[in-house]
Amino acid sequence: MVQWTFSAPEGYFDDCAALAAQLPNSRLTTRPLFALTPRDYPSDAAATATKDNRPWARFTAHVAALNREAPANVSYKIMFLTRHGQGYHNLMKTLSEDEQGEENHDAQLPDEAACFDAFLTPVGVAQATALSGLWLASIAADGLPVPQTLYTSPLARCLQTGQLYLQPIMDAHNLPYGPLVKEGLRERRTMHSCDRRRPRAWIAENWPACVIEEGFSEEDVMGALPRPETEEENRVRVLEALADVFEADASEVVAWTFHSLSMRALLGGLGMVPFKLQPATTIAVLVRGEKGE
C-alpha cells in the first residue's frame, strides 16, 4: 500500500481554532474569504497587466506554482471542507440536550428509528441553500475557485447538502455536478442509527448524479459492526480517504461534504488544532501530501 504523509502548511489561513473559540458554543461559521489571510505570494512577481488580483485568484495561482515546483512525490491541494446542514438527528439532540451533541455524540437519541440516516430539517435545507449563496458571491468577488472534483459521504444528510449548495455553483459555471460517494467520509461510527447508511442501490436510485466509488458495498458493513469506532480509527479512516484522493485525483481544488467529528479527525491528522463547526459551514485548507518510496 502506498504511504502518504499529510500536513497543512501554515501562513495561508486565519487561526480558525481561535476564531471558533470566540463564537457562540465555540462553533465556527463560514468566514469572509473563507478565512484566507490576505498576503503576497512569490508567484505575484510573475503578474502581468491582465492578471486577476483578487485574493483567492492569487492564492490559487500560488498553489499551482507550488505544484509546478514541487518534487515528483509531493503535491498540494486546496480542500474545501463542508459540514452538512442541520439533520433531524441534530434537532433531536438539540431538543433533548440543549446543544447539538458533538461533545455527547454517544448519548442516547430520543427516537433512534426516526434518526436512521437522517435527512436535513427545513432549517438544514435553508442553511445549505444560504451556503451556496456565500460560495457564489465569493467566486465573483474574491476569485474563489470552483472545485474541480467533488466528494461526499454516503449518508443522506450529506448527499442532500451537497446537492443544495454545490449543484447551483456547478450549474452557474456550466460544469457537471457529479460528486464521488466515498465510504471513508462518513461520520465516526457510533451505535446510533443516525450513523448508519442506506443500501448502495438506494443511493444510486435517489442520487443519480452521484458516482459511487468502486468497491462500495451494497449493505452497510461498517454500520453493522458490533462496537463504536474509536477516535483513532476515525482519524485513520479519513486519512486513508485523503490518500485515495491524492493518489487518484490530479485536481488542485477539491470539495468534501461530510461530518463534524470526521472533519475534526481530519484536521487533527493534518497537525492542526481541531475545532467545531456550525451546520452547513465551509472551511478551506491547503494540504501538502508527500508520497513515500
Looking up residue 208, the CATH number of its domain turns out to be 3.40.50.1240
**Nearest partner of 185 among 245, 128, 248, judged by Cα:** 245
Please give the pLDDT value at position 47. 56
Q: Which amino acid is at 67?
A: N
Report the sign of the C-alpha dihedral through residues 24, 28, 31, 35, in that order.
positive
Inside any domain, residue 220: yes
Inside any domain, residue 100: no
Domain count, the chain: 1
Inside any domain, residue 212: yes
Inside any domain, residue 161: yes
Please give the pLDDT value at position 207. 97
Inside any domain, residue 102: no
Please give the pLDDT value at position 92. 86
**What letter does residue 103 receive in the DSSP assignment?**
T
Place of cell 505570494: 41
Q: What is the pTM of this model?
A: 0.93
Inside any domain, residue 122: yes
Cα–Cα distance, 235 to 218 (Å, whole number) = 24
The pLDDT tens digits along the chain (293 residues) read 579 999 999 999 999 999 999 988 899 999 999 999 999 999 888 755 458 899 999 999 999 999 999 999 999 999 999 999 999 999 987 775 544 344 455 555 556 778 999 999 999 999 999 999 999 999 999 999 999 999 999 999 999 999 999 999 999 999 999 999 999 999 999 988 999 999 999 999 999 999 999 999 999 999 999 999 999 999 999 999 999 999 999 999 999 999 999 999 999 999 999 999 999 999 999 999 999 97
Q: Return the SS3 of 36.
A: strand
* DSSP run (H or E) holding 161: helix 156-172
Cα–Cα distance, 7 to 290 (Å, whole number) = 9
Return the HEC string of 38-99: CCCCHHHHHCCCCCCCCHHHHHHHHHHHHHHHCCCCEEEEEEEEEECCCEHHHHHHHHHHCC
Please give the pLDDT value at position 24. 84
> In angstroms, what CA-CA distances link 47 with 53, 57, 144, 194, 241?
9, 12, 18, 50, 36
Inside any domain, residue 169: yes
Please give the pLDDT value at position 151. 98
What range does the domain containing 203 cover? 4-95+111-291
